[in-house]
Homo-oligomer: A and B are copies of this chain.
Amino acid sequence: MGITKSESFTEEQNEIANLLKALANPARVAIIQYLLKVDSCICGDIVNELPLAQPTISQHLKELKNANIIQGTIEGKSICYCINPETMSKIESYFGGISLKLKNKCC
Contact = CB atoms under 8 A, between A and B. Distances in A.
Interface residues of A, number: 49
Copies of this protein in the complex: 2
A41 interface: yes
A50 interface: yes
Contacts of A102: 36, 83, 85, 88-89
Interface string A66-85: 00000100000000001101
Contacts of A89: 99, 102
A103 to B, nearest CB: 8
Interface of A: 4-6, 8-10, 13-14, 16-18, 20-21, 23-30, 32-33, 36, 39-41, 50-52, 71, 82-83, 85, 88-89, 91-92, 95-96, 98-99, 101-107
